[in-house]
Structure 1
């Protein structure tokens, strides 16, 4: 299988850093703006969201959530109108994840906050900077750059009680692809496939080299994963029979800051220098 560039545009105002998808592509930038693009990468909306660089971004059908080093989460509708500002601990929020009706945030101080309808619901301290967070209840997966921690939580029952169930070598970014957890290996070059079950102790099933340089971005959908990194190469992977198999790659020529897969055949790459590229499998 080969990958091709289906469309591209250039965001010239500031370095694009993070991205999220919900019928449109939302891109957060170094100067604190959020820009949205239609699937063909024609511009939709742009607004000033923070005073400085956006660290994390998430979106659902009705809202866009953004975080920066001001320690708060800002909630917008998809047209850029502010809905609410949610205060947290004041530490830099580095990761956001939507699971069901809840929003999860992780910060540099190791705090994870859970929100429902933009209101605080639960809070947990995992004692290590949370560069990425994924949730498959009752388990929460958090990572920095040495370990992935598996924490059992029940936010419907307790606002602060949790149990650390497992710790394994690995680093951010993370991705969920039922019945698997995908992590980047500690060195930053390999992609690891884990069983998504406590019964197997989240057993590592397979590992494959994904890049000659640090992997910065990982996104998964259907039975496929996509990676991008410092080497500028976007790679697509087929997950089948407990293995990771190469399913196409394309060299985009510069560092991939963020990557969002929208279908098994489509992904959007956010590149250093301002390029935004729609990559398609054929």
Structure 2
């Protein structure tokens, strides 16, 4: 099944990271700016967030969060007004995750995870390895670099520094939760997709794996029981979780490396592509 290009546009800087919230697409670029696009890819706002390339971006229902190499997390309104700048005590932050529009998790290259609520630090942990991605399904936090996925039990509302490492398994970033009951991770080789049970009882057992590409995967996004992948080969692929299996459900070649994906629904997703191309895809 071929995916359909529904809309596309170009921006004037290399798109590096992307997040989607409230029908707004926020794109962090190589020159340090954030570009906000509407659902139809028309421009909404643009502002200089950092002096150099953005490393990570995330959005809650009210704010956009960005990081670069300046040791800060910067918080913005959807129109680009600066709310606050949070100075961190670790190294460069390369991963951001927002839990329930309430708590912000920030992971850095030194293995530190900082947890913020209302822009105030409430907890911090160290998982001993650079954090390229972090996701949270309480009480478990999943972190990954490029060899292992670490499962850590945390309770930031009860303790600001206590944690227990519960499990370690092969895998690498990016990570996503799908269908509320499974974990998706990229395999250590970088070109396969792994499906795990989201259960400590089974020690997050791997139940299926499919080869997605001959080249490295850079991007993974989920919505409901559907996943979208993309990478160096320029192909965006759509996958459906059927029972305990990952099944192919469409693809399209966009002709250049996929730098990021943001699923809008089970049927549609946005892709940011090397060279400044921004595309809205649909499976119908």
Deviations 1:166-206 (A, max 9, x none): 00000000011110000000000100000001000000010
Residues paired across the two proteins, number: 281
Q: What's the TM-score once normalised by structure 1's chain length?
A: 0.99
Asked if the contact 2:90–2:112 (Cα under 8 Å) also holds between the matched residues in 1, the reply is: no
1:172 corresponds in structure 2 to: 173
1:239 corresponds in structure 2 to: 241
Asked if the contact 1:103–1:114 (Cα under 8 Å) also holds between the matched residues in 2, the reply is: yes
Taking the TM superposition and a 5 Å limit, the aligned residue runs for 1:208-219 are 208-219=210-221
1:15 corresponds in structure 2 to: 14
Deviations 1:222-255 (A, max 9, x none): 1100000000000000012111000000000000
What is the root-mean-square deviation of aligned Cα atoms in Å? 0.7
Quote the Cα distance in structure 2 between the aligned partners of 1:233 and 1:217: 11
Consecutive unaligned residues of structure 2, counting only runs of 5 or more, are none
Deviations 1:24-73 (A, max 9, x none): 00000001000000011011100000001000000121100000111110
Asked if the contact 2:90–2:110 (Cα under 8 Å) also holds between the matched residues in 1, the reply is: no
Quote the Cα distance in structure 1 between the aligned partners of 2:186 and 2:20: 22
Q: 141-150 or 89-98, which moves further after superposition?
A: 89-98
Helix, strand or coil at the partner of 2:190: coil
The question of 1:139 aligning with 2:140 is answered yes
The question of 1:115 aligning with 2:116 is answered yes
Quote the Cα distance in structure 2 between the aligned partners of 1:179 and 1:140: 15
Asked if the contact 2:142–2:149 (Cα under 8 Å) also holds between the matched residues in 1, the reply is: yes
Deviations 1:107-148 (A, max 9, x none): 000000000011111000001000000000100000000000
Consecutive unaligned residues of structure 1, counting only runs of 5 or more, are none
Quote the Cα distance in structure 2 between the aligned partners of 1:151 and 1:38: 36
Helix, strand or coil at the partner of 2:159: coil
